[in-house]
C-alpha cells in the first residue's frame, strides 16, 4: 500500500474508530450506575418501610432522576429542528496554486464529513415542511483539523450586518406576547421588519419562491452564503464562494402539499433522508467554487462582500471540484445531531475570512452559543465534534472536561515541559491569517456599495419561469394575507414596487393594497441558473404509490416493479387495507400500507393497476379517489392501465390523448406495450411536476 493510500485509510477510518470508544451495546449486560456499580433494583426507590417515605440515601434513584431532569439541553435559538448524517468527501480536481488546504489538494483522500440539515425559524418540535430557509452545514474532519462550512440552501441572507441578526430573528420568531405563530413568517412582526429593513428584499424573493419548500434535503442546493478567501502557499489570495449541487437536481414541493404533509407526516424530510441512506440510495452533492482574483474585487455593480448579494453564475462560473456522499445514519440523534457544534470560524490552513460584516459577527456568535447550549467551553470534546487531528494545547478544566492532561504545565512559554506544546510555524502547517492591509477611522456605518437593495431581487424575479412567478405571488398573498395591519401590508407592497411593478401589482390585488407605480429598478438581466426549472431531472430515488387490491394482474405488477427498480424508483404497494391480497391467478402480494395510513402527499407519482375486481374495490373506497385527485392537483405523474382508467375518471381527470402525456397522465388500454408504457412512466416521473394541467370534469 502506498503512503498516500495508508494516509487515506487512516483518515477514512479514524473518525469511526474514535466514535467506537463511545458506542455501547446493552444487549446481555448487567445494569449499572453511571459510575459502573451494578444495580440490583430498578423498579422501586429505597423507602422507610413499604409504605414509608423515600430515603435521600437512595443514590441510584437520585442519579437516575437527576439525569432525566437534565436530558434536554437548550435548543438552538435558530436552526433548532435539524437532522444529520455521516459521509465522506472526495476531490475531483486539486486546487493547486489556489489554496494550501490539504483536503482540497489531495485527490487520494476520503475526508469524513457530518452534515446537519435544518429549518431556521421553528422549534425542535415544528414540522419539516414549513416555508423557511434550510440550514446546510458540513463538518469536514481533516487531518489538519475540523473545517466547518456553515451555510443555507439559499445563497443570500436577510441582513448585511450581524448587528441586526437578533432583530431579524426576534421579528421572525413567534410574537412574544402569545408565542404565535410557530415556524411561520406569516405574521405582523416579520413583515414589519421586511418593510422597514429593505436590505432583506432579495432574500425575501428567495423565501417566497419554491426554494423554501424543498422536496427533500437530498434535492436542495447548499451555499456558503459569505465571501471567503482561499490562500495559497505563497500567501496569494482569491475570493471564493462555496456551492453544493445535488446530483438529483433541485426540486420543491407545492404550498398546498407542504401544509398537508405537516399534518400527515411532520418528519417528512427527516424520514426521506433516513430511508434513502438505509436503502443504499446515498445522497450525493457535488462541491463547487466560484473564484475571483483579488484585483477583480471592485469590477462588479454589486459589492462582493454583501451577504444580500450573489455572484451570478453566468458572470463567475461555478467550478465543480469534488463530491460529498452521505452513506451512514446516526447511531443516536441526541449524541450526534443535537450535540454537533458548527462554527464558521473552524478553519484549516488555506481558508480565511473576508470582511463581510455579517460573517465577522458570526465568528463571535457561534462560539458564544455553543458554550451556552453544550454546558461550557469543552464542547469540542463531545465525540461528534472531536477532530481526527491530535489536540495539544494549554486549555484546562471547565464543565464536562474529558481530556486528562498529564503533568504540571498548563501555560506557554515554559521550561518545565521543554516549552511544549509550542506553536507550529506556517511552513510546518501552522495557521496564519491572511496579511490583508487594513486602515481607516473607527466608524459605525456601512459602505455606500451596500446601499442597492433591489437590483438583484429584480434579477431573481426576471429569472423565474411563469409557474415560479405565480408561486411567488401566491406566497406573498398568503403571507401578507395573515398580517393584521393594513399599514404593514401596504408598506410591503411599496417596498416590492422597487423590485418589479408587475409583482407589486399582483401582490396588491390579492391583499387589499394599492400598487405604487414607477419605482422599479429597470434591471432587465436574468440568470438561468436561478430557476429550478433548469435543474437536473431524474426519476432516480423517486417514490411511487401503486394502488391495487384483490384481483390484480400479477405479471403486470411484477414487470412494472422491475422496470421501476431498474430506474432507481422506489415503489410501495397500497391497498384498501393491510393483509395479503391475491392476484387473478392466485399469486399473493403483501401491501406496504393501507389507504388509511398512507397519502399521495408522500409520493412523487401514482400507478393504478388493472384488474376488474381490484379496481372495483378501489372505487368503492372514497379514499382511493381522493388519493388520485390530490396527486393530480399537485401536478404529479399518474399512470393507469385498463380498468384503472375508471379511477382517473372518478377523480375528475379527463383523458385527452393529444395532451395526456404533457399533463403527466400515462394511460393505456387492456392491450398495450408494457415496455413502452413503463418507459414513458419513468420519463414522466423524472419531470418532477406537470404544470400544464388543470382539473377538468
Inside any domain, residue 177: yes
Inside any domain, residue 68: no
Average pLDDT of span 493-515 = 96
> pLDDT at residue 606 above 70?
yes
pLDDT at res. 617: 97
> pLDDT at residue 239 above 90?
yes
Per-residue CA distances from 103 to 271, 291, 571 (Å)? 31, 18, 39
Q: Which domain holds residue 589?
A: 537-686
pLDDT at res. 264: 95
Out of 327, 354, 385, a domain closes at 385
Percent of the chain scoring above 90 in pLDDT:
75
Average pLDDT of span 443-468 = 95
pLDDT at res. 15: 66
Q: What is the DSSP string of 562-573?
A: HHHHHTT-EEEE
Inside any domain, residue 32: no
Q: How many CB atoms lie within 10 A of CB 92?
A: 12
pLDDT at res. 526: 97
Q: How many CB atoms lie within 10 A of CB 566?
A: 10
Domain count, the chain: 3
CA 173 to chain centre: 19
How far, in Å, CA of 181 to CA of 174, rounded?
A: 5
> pLDDT at residue 206 above 70?
yes
Instruction: For residue range 461-484, list pLDDT tens digits in order.
Output: 999 999 999 999 999 999 999 999
Inside any domain, residue 326: yes
> pLDDT at residue 695 above 70?
no
Going by pLDDT thresholds of 50, 70 and 90, the confidence category of residue 251 is very high
Burial environment of residue 118 by CB neighbours within 10 A (0 to 12, 13 to 18, 19 or more): buried
CATH number of domain containing 337: 2.40.180.10
> pLDDT at residue 637 above 90?
yes
On whether both 371 and 493 belong to a single domain, the answer is no
Contact of 572 with 593, CB cutoff 8 Å = yes
On whether both 582 and 484 belong to a single domain, the answer is no
On whether both 501 and 554 belong to a single domain, the answer is no
pLDDT at res. 538: 97
Inside any domain, residue 677: yes
Least confident among 117-126, 264-273, 333-342, 514-523: 514-523
On whether both 645 and 588 belong to a single domain, the answer is yes
152 annotated active-site: yes
On whether both 525 and 546 belong to a single domain, the answer is no
CATH number of domain containing 601: 3.40.50.880
Instruction: For residue range 126-179, list pLDDT tens digits in order.
Output: 999 999 999 999 999 999 999 999 999 999 999 999 999 999 999 999 999 999
> pLDDT at residue 11 above 80?
no
Inside any domain, residue 300: yes
pLDDT at res. 372: 87
Q: Of the listed 60, 79, 238, 471, which one is catalytic?
A: 79
Per-residue CA distances from 276 to 89, 327, 545, 560 (Å)? 18, 9, 16, 21
Q: Is the pTM of this model over 0.95?
A: no
Contact of 322 with 89, CB cutoff 8 Å = yes
Instruction: For residue range 369-387, list pLDDT tens digits in order.
Output: 888 899 888 999 999 999 9
Going by pLDDT thresholds of 50, 70 and 90, the confidence category of residue 393 is confident
On whether both 103 and 230 belong to a single domain, the answer is yes
Instruction: For residue range 403-431, list pLDDT tens digits in order.
Output: 888 999 888 888 998 988 988 888 888 98
> pLDDT at residue 8 above 70?
no
pLDDT at res. 12: 53
> pLDDT at residue 5 above 70?
no
> pLDDT at residue 328 above 50?
yes
Average pLDDT, whole number, for the chain?
Answer: 92
On whether both 265 and 360 belong to a single domain, the answer is yes
On whether both 655 and 634 belong to a single domain, the answer is yes
Going by pLDDT thresholds of 50, 70 and 90, the confidence category of residue 694 is low
- H/E element holding 59? helix 59-69
Q: What are phi and psi of 261, to 5 degrees?
A: -60, -35
On whether both 300 and 338 belong to a single domain, the answer is yes
On whether both 519 and 378 belong to a single domain, the answer is no
Out of 335, 353, 385, a domain closes at 385
Q: Of the listed 105, 146, 152, 197, which one is catalytic?
A: 152
Instruction: For residue range 46-103, list pLDDT tens digits in order.
Output: 888 888 888 888 888 888 877 778 888 899 999 999 999 999 999 999 999 999 999 9
pLDDT at res. 696: 44
CATH number of domain containing 519: 1.20.1370.20
- Look at residue 380 and give its three-state secondary structure: helix
pLDDT at res. 58: 87
Inside any domain, residue 571: yes
Average pLDDT of span 23-34 = 82
Out of 331, 352, 385, a domain closes at 385
> pLDDT at residue 2 above 70?
no
Average pLDDT of span 491-519 = 94
Average pLDDT of span 579-598 = 95
DSSP 212: G
pLDDT at res. 600: 97
pLDDT at res. 1: 53
Inside any domain, residue 419: no
Per-residue CA distances from 203 to 78, 174, 486 (Å)? 17, 20, 23
On whether both 592 and 519 belong to a single domain, the answer is no
Q: Is the dihedral of CA 261, 267, 270, 275 positive or negative?
A: negative
Q: Are strands 593-594 and 588-589 parallel, antiparallel or unpaired?
A: unpaired
On whether both 514 and 652 belong to a single domain, the answer is no
Amino acid at each position: 500500500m502506498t503512503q498516500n493510500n495508508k494516509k487515506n485509510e487512516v483518515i477514512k477510518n479514524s473518525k469511526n474508530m474514535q466514535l467506537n470508544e463511545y458506542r455501547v451495546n446493552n444487549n446481555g449486560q448487567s445494569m449499572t450506575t453511571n459510575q459502573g456499580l451494578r444495580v440490583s433494583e430498578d423498579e422501586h426507590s429505597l423507602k422507610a418501610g413499604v409504605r414509608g417515605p423515600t430515603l435521600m440515601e437512595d443514590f441510584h434513584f437520585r442519579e437516575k432522576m437527576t439525569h432525566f431532569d437534565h436530558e434536554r439541553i437548550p435548543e438552538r435559538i435558530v436552526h433548532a429542528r435539524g437532522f444529520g448524517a455521516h459521509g465522506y468527501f472526495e476531490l475531483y480536481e486539486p486546487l493547486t496554486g489556489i489554496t494550501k488546504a490539504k483536503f482540497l489538494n489531495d485527490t487520494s483522500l476520503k475526508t469524513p464529513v457530518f452534515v446537519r440539515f435544518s429549518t431556521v425559524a421553528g422549534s425542535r418540535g415544528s414540522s419539516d415542511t414549513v416555508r423557511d430557509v434550510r440550514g446546510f452545514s458540513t463538518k469536514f474532519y481533516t487531518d489538519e483539523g475540523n473545517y466547518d462550512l456553515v451555510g443555507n440552501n439559499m445563497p443570500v441572507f436577510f441582513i448585511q450586518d450581524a448587528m441586526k441578526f437578533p432583530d431579524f430573528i426576534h421579528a421572525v420568531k413567534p410574537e412574544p406576547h402569545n408565542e404565535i405563530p410557530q415556524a411561520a413568517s406569516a405574521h405582523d412582526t416579520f413583515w414589519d421588519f421586511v418593510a422597514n429593513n429593505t436590505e432583506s428584499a432579495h432574500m425575501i424573493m428567495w423565501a417566497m419562491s419554491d426554494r423554501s419548500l424543498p422536496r427533500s434535503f437530498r434535492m436542495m442546493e447548499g451555499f456558503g452564503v459569505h465571501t471567503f478567501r482561499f490562500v495559497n502557499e505563497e500567501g496569494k489570495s482569491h475570493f471564493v464562494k462555496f456551492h453544493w449541487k445535488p446530483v438529483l437536481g433541485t426540486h420543491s414541493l407545492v404550498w398546498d402539499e407542504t401544509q398537508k404533509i405537516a399534518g400527515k407526516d411532520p418528519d417528512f424530510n427527516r424520514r426521506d433522508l433516513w430511508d434513502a441512506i438505509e436503502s443504499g440510495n446515498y445522497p450525493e452533492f457535488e462541491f463547487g467554487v466560484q473564484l475571483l482574483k483579488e484585483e477583480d474585487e471592485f469590477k462588479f455593480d454589486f459589492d462582493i462582500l454583501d451577504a444580500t448579494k450573489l455572484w451570478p453564475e453566468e458572470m463567475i462560473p461555478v467550478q465543480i471540484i469534488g463530491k460529498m456522499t452521505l452513506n451512514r445514519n446516526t447511531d443516536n440523534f441526541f449524541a450526534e445531531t443535537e450535540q454537533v457544534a458548527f462554527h464558521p470560524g473552524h478553519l484549516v490552513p488555506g481558508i480565511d475570512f473576508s470582511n463581510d460584516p455579517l460573517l465577522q459577527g458570526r465568528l463571535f456568535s457561534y462560539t458564544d452559543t455553543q458554550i451556552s447550549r453544550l454546558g461550557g467551553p469543552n464542547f469540542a470534546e463531545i465525540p461528534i465534534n472531536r477532530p481526527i487531528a491530535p489536540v495539544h494545547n494549554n486549555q484546562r478544566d471547565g464543565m464536562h472536561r474529558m481530556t486528562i492532561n498529564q503533568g504540571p504545565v498548563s501555560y506557554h512559554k515554559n521550561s518545565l515541559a521543554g516549552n511544549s506544546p509550542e506553536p507550529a510555524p506556517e511552513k510546518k502547517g501552522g495557521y496564519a491569517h491572511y496579511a490583508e492591509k487594513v486602515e481607516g477611522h473607527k466608524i459605525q456605518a456601512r459602505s455606500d456599495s451596500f446601499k442597492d437593495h433591489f437590483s438583484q431581487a429584480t434579477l431573481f424575479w426576471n429569472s423565474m419561469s411563469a409557474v415560479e412567478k405565480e408561486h411567488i405571488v401566491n406566497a406573498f398573498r398568503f403571507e401578507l394575507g395573515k398580517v393584521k395591519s393594513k399599514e404593514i401590508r401596504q408598506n410591503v407592497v411599496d417596498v416590492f414596487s422597487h423590485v418589479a411593478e408587475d409583482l407589486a401589482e399582483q401582490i396588491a390585488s390579492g391583499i387589499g393594497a394599492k400598487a405604487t407605480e414607477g419605482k422599479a429598478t429597470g434591471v432587465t438581466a436574468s440568470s438561468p441558473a436561478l430557476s429550478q426549472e433548469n435543474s437536473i431531472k431524474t426519476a432516480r430515488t423517486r417514490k411511487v404509490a401503486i394502488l391495487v387490491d384483490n384481483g390484480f394482474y400479477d405479471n403486470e405488477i411484477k414487470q412494472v416493479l422491475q422496470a421501476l427498480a431498474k430506474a432507481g424508483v422506489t415503489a410501495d404497494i397500497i391497498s384498501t387495507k393491510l393483509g395479503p391480497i391475491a392476484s387473478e391467478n392466485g399469486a399473493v402480494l403483501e401491501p406496504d400500507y393501507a389507504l388509511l395510513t398512507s397519502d399521495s402527499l408522500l409520493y412523487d407519482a401514482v400507478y393504478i393497476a388493472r384488474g376488474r375486481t381490484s379496481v372495483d374495490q378501489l372505487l368503492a373506497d372514497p379514499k382511493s379517489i381522493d388519493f388520485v385527485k390530490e396527486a393530480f392537483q399537485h401536478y404529479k405523474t399518474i399512470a393507469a392501465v385498463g380498468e384503472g382508467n375508471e379511477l382517473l375518471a372518478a377523480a375528475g381527470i379527463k383523458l385527452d390523448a393529444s395532451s395526456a402525456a404533457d399533463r403527466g397522465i400515462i394511460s393505456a388500454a387492456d392491450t398495450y406495450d408494457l415496455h413502452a408504457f413503463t418507459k414513458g412512466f419513468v420519463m414522466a416521473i423524472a419531470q418532477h411536476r406537470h404544470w400544464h394541467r388543470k382539473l377538468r370534469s
